[in-house]
A and B are shown apart, each in its own frame.
Chain A
Amino acid sequence: MELRRADATLVPRRRTRTLRARIWRERWMYLFLVPGFLFVVAFRYLPLLGNVIAFQNYSPFLGFSGSPWVGFQNFTGLFTNPDVWTALWNTVVISGLQLIFFFPAPIALALLLNSLMSDRIRRAVQSVVYLPHFIGWVILVAIWEQMLGGDGLVNQLLRNHGLHTVNIMANPNLFKPLMVLQDIWKEMGWGTIIFLAALTAIDLHLYEAAAIDGASWWGRIRHVTLPGIRHIVVLLLILRLGAILTVGFEQILLQEPAVGATAGQVLDTFVYFQGVVGGDWGLSAAVGLMKGALGTILVVSANWLVKKMGEQGVF
């Protein structure tokens, strides 16, 4: 991100040195570079090769070399498998709900926090709303179960008042909104950090000038605040679009069993249940590969589109 072209212009005039001499001169730096780089290669790049099993009828006993090659059979199988379509549909719906409800939430909260006059109150609120970000999904689900589940607080209160109970955590119809609500609970506060930084960078004189020109608070938000954070909003939107086929895997894996695959299965959990649990390695690797490739294409094209529209992209 901060790889600027400026680097090239600042190169000192000692390019005459040979490459070997330059490497020798910096030999100690390679001691720092090599271990980390090897880790990245071993655990981030090497696994990409594992995707070849998408073109195989893979069996763990036969391994890569022993398993028969089947060409694109797994990919054609993927399109005729109704479970894949269900998982795709669920993924896209959850992503869409996230885009509508979860994406704007930190922006709104950041605007609210920014409008507070008292530093003390703002800091206190911040330290509370950042906390859920650090709570793992298992703990989060356990806590939510305790509040909204079958034996949870809400149902206890309903029961005590002789009312019908509702198990919000195990209702297939509520599953998707519930996932988005959990995302909001967990990440809304943490998400404000980046917007608050952008908001503090806005020149206060702009507000003053706007106010003197007769802009109301809403006018100032529209004409000063929002343009001031537009760049960062667009940037995060690109990243979000690139991840549209990725919805909280760990979160859904924990809660999908309570509502069943029809309501809850997403692409990543499909890969897990079909491949790792079900043993259909080839097909689920094909789904994973498709998803990864589409995700990369999506983020690159969103970035291209945004640049076309005259905004700064991510890369």
Chain B
Amino acid sequence: METDVADQPLDTGTGPPSFDDFYRREYPRLAVLATAVSGDPGWGEDLAQEALTRAGQRWDRIAAYDNPGTWVRRVTINLATSRRRRLRSEARALLRLGPPDPVPGVTLHGDPAVWAAVAGLPPRQRAVITLHYLEDRSVADIADTLGISVSAATSNLHKARTRLAASLGSSDDTPAAERSVR
């Protein structure tokens, strides 16, 4: 599995990274992160783009951060978490426009049982699981991304992994997720 992509330097030159490079590198991972947290792949794409839009709007400032990826991940998680609330604010517009069209080609891939199990987790645990398993992020990185303490991130990761093991019918309750964190 490809690891640590998000931590690699964006640019090889001396200037700030271009937003276009940042977008192309981060978009797929943000889409998966938002899909896991929101439970909807269509919304995952939408929310990833929303977060990147915000980064683009203030790219001069964001590009100067030590890790713009952390900023945009936090925004993505915030957006995915508040999906329902966003729907509320958009209710009037949606009523006028009608229900959204299905997004062609956007679906869940991989093991459906895994997605169902992830959907059964509280949103924060979904985010922790995705950051850990998709990106091999350390607990410290996850804590920084979510704006929580390391012990809270550790606790969430452990609980999420335990719940997933139970949901997926595994007798293997060894917290491998904890073993592999850096």
Query: Is this pair of chains taken from one and the same complex?
Result: no
Give residues in B with beta carbon < 8 Å to A.
Answer: none
